[in-house]
Amino acid sequence: MIVNKAEEVLENHSLCNHCLGRLFAKLGKGTNEERGEAIRFVLNMERSEKELEPVEKPERCELCNHVFERLDQFVELCFKASEGIEFSTFWVGSRFPDEVLEKERRIWEEFGIETAEPIKVEFNRELGKALGKRLRKETERDNPDVVFIVEPFSGKVELQINPLYVYGRYRKLVRRIPQTPLPGFEDSVASLICRPFSKVTGGKCVFKGAGREDVDVRTLGNGRPFILEIKNPKVRSVDLNVLTEEINGSGKVEVLNLRFVTPKEAEKVLTKNHRKEYLALVLVEDGVTPEEAEEVVRKLRGLEILQRTPRRVRKARADKVRVKRVHDAEAGWIDERHFELRLITDGGLYIKELISGDKGRTKPSVSELLGKPAWCERLDVLNILDD
């Protein structure tokens, strides 16, 4: 049956052994070239018995134009394209002309072929094996360091360098420093962390924080999770301990627990909702007693807060009401006008507005519970809680 089908195809199309064998790729073992050579050999034995002319390999394959005979050429083009780039794993992709893919599909339909594989699959596999030997590196489908995109008919090779992803947590030790660059500020958390990474890897470093704090707010304790996406890195084997020391030497920002992660792990970090622990210094100009401070935190514990987007961030955030919860609260009275407020809340609850009330946009608020205006004079993020 296979030989009869092959003879029927070859009577109408000039195919090399690769393209002939690929029609039956799902049958048996071995390469498509070996499969095609064996099928042609048996077919010509039968034709010889019938005193028919053999069906020889064509000088020009009408489907692939003998691209498989030029694999060594593509290997060298890929090798040259990757010079100066450090990587451990790679994958191969290809772009064939639409008319080639369409002709292949028409042959399958014309002769009822259900055992074939696409030309792109064979080309990528065979080039990948040859390139692996030349580079002495391993192929990796899911998360390779680099991907070679080859256009077999034009001879073009494109090198796609996949990003590096680094997880860490940062502590912002000083006030008056933004998380990301802003006009009027010399440094930012992002620039202090990214600068050494860009220098060492030769790539572009993009900082992504799991939430953010205001310019005048410190982040202490276990630090805020963040991800660095380093695009087009020329160097991938970097010493994270050395970079940690360099960043921490700034005296403004410290990083903890730096490690490489996969794209999926990075996405999980950035989409996870974290509870947060805060310490706020509350100013009550009309005066506050220890008893009033304790009464406020008693009412806050477990309280559900309806918070409309604060006025100060309306240009950057959708104007809507968010429902958040205060999970725990403690008070420490300082003097007649101040007390400290330690809070554990849902992520995304604006603490300054929780205290002031933001002219009724946050309800209830500390001001409402006290029955007199209260303001956040100083705020620190103490911990970002993963659980």
Q: Binding site annotation covers 350?
A: yes
Return the bridge partners of 343, or none: 278, 329
DSSP 8-state code for residue 69? G
Q: What positions carry a catalytic annotation?
A: 214
Residues with Cβ < 8 Å from 239, sequence gap 6 or more? Answer: none
DSSP assignment of 210-230: SS---TT-EEEEEEEEEEEEE
Q: Is 278 annotated as a binding residue?
A: yes
Cα–Cα dist 38/117, whole Å: 18
Cα separation, 277 vs 136, in Å, equals 50
Instruction: Name 10's Cβ contacts closer than 8 Å, sequence gap at least 6.
Output: 20, 40, 43, 55
Expressed in angstroms, the distance from the first to the final Cα of the chain is 63
What is residue 222's three-state secondary structure?
A: strand
**Is-contact 146 163, C-beta < 8 A?**
no
SS3 category, 57: coil
Q: What are the binding residues for substrate?
A: 278, 350
Could you tell me which residues are annotated as the binding site? Answer: 278, 350
